Amino acid sequence: MNEVTVSSACKYLGVSTSGYYAWRKRQANPAQKYNDLKAVYWQHHARLGAPSLVHDMHELDYNMSERTIGRMLKKLGLRSRIARKYKHTTDSNHRLPTAPNLLDRQFTVNEPNKIWTTDITYIRTKQGWLYLCVMLDLFSRRIVGWQISHRIDRQLVCDAFHYAMARQGYPMGVMVHSDQGSQYCSRDFRTLLLTNNCVQSMSRRGNCWDNAVTESFFHTLKGHVVHGSVFATRKEANTVLFDYIEIYYNRVRRHSANG
């Protein structure tokens, strides 16, 4: 029987010889596993726990389960920042016209710019409250538009929508889903949607699950960048929000809905 060499086996399997030896070295060196896990953990700024780190470690050729990674993180004294429940901000106690719930919790979309979900949350600063409005694309789960203001008014949601439309190239026929807050029911916002050939959809009153994806984003945001702290200034909060949304969330963070 002819002996199979490492180089011929690697060629047959479509992998590099150097990659194979690097993989074997990592498997034989337990300390390297911990070093690589720490590197991945801090690459995500301590924002990911064991479930999310499994995929990244697999990409480094470590076949480790969530439970194994959890034990390793505990041994290293590392843990993901815990998100806290946040309070709702928009006011649905008004007599303005509302839209039907066309989305109906159908959060799986097969192409971009078909459905955007939107909501508002608040950020504490020593200069006062800062309000953040986002437009989230259900296909990519990325934030396609966002705006901050010290006022929670219709201009805030209109500006976030303008940003999303300009950024995405003014797509036609987008369904925009929100809660029944007065900002979204305002004549200015409804006219803006109509002018841009968009369809309006709204959650049932008081039902946060009808907008679960955006609620989940805010929950994650609060745990990662706020976590009970108070920013010194609104400018500082804006800088941190930009870093999280544009640099980390939209580009680095793996979105579970997309694999």
**What is the C-alpha separation between 178 and 175, in angstroms, rounded?**
10
Q: What is the mean pLDDT of the chain?
A: 82
Q: In whole angstroms, what is the distance from residue 82 CA to residue 91 CA? A: 27
Select from 3.30.1950.10, 1.10.1060.10, 3.30.420.10, 3.30.450.20 the CATH code of 115-258.
3.30.420.10
Over residues 196-231, the pLDDT tens digits come to 999 999 998 877 789 999 998 998 898 888 777 789
Instruction: Give the residue, 77 or 194, on which the prediction is more confident.
Output: 194
Q: What's CA 218's distance to the chain center, in Å?
A: 8
Helices (H), 61-168: 66-76, 154-167
Give me the pLDDT at residue 1, please: 47
Which H or E run contains 143?
A: strand 143-149
What pLDDT is attached to residue 66?
81
Pair 167, 250: CB distance under 8 Å? no
pLDDT band at 49 (very low <50, low <70, confident <90, very high): low
Supply the pLDDT for residue 182: 92
Q: Where in the chain is the domain with CATH 3.30.420.10?
A: 115-258
According to DSSP, the residues that pair with 115 across neighbouring strands are 175
DSSP states along 191-209: HHHHHTT-EEEEPPTT-GG
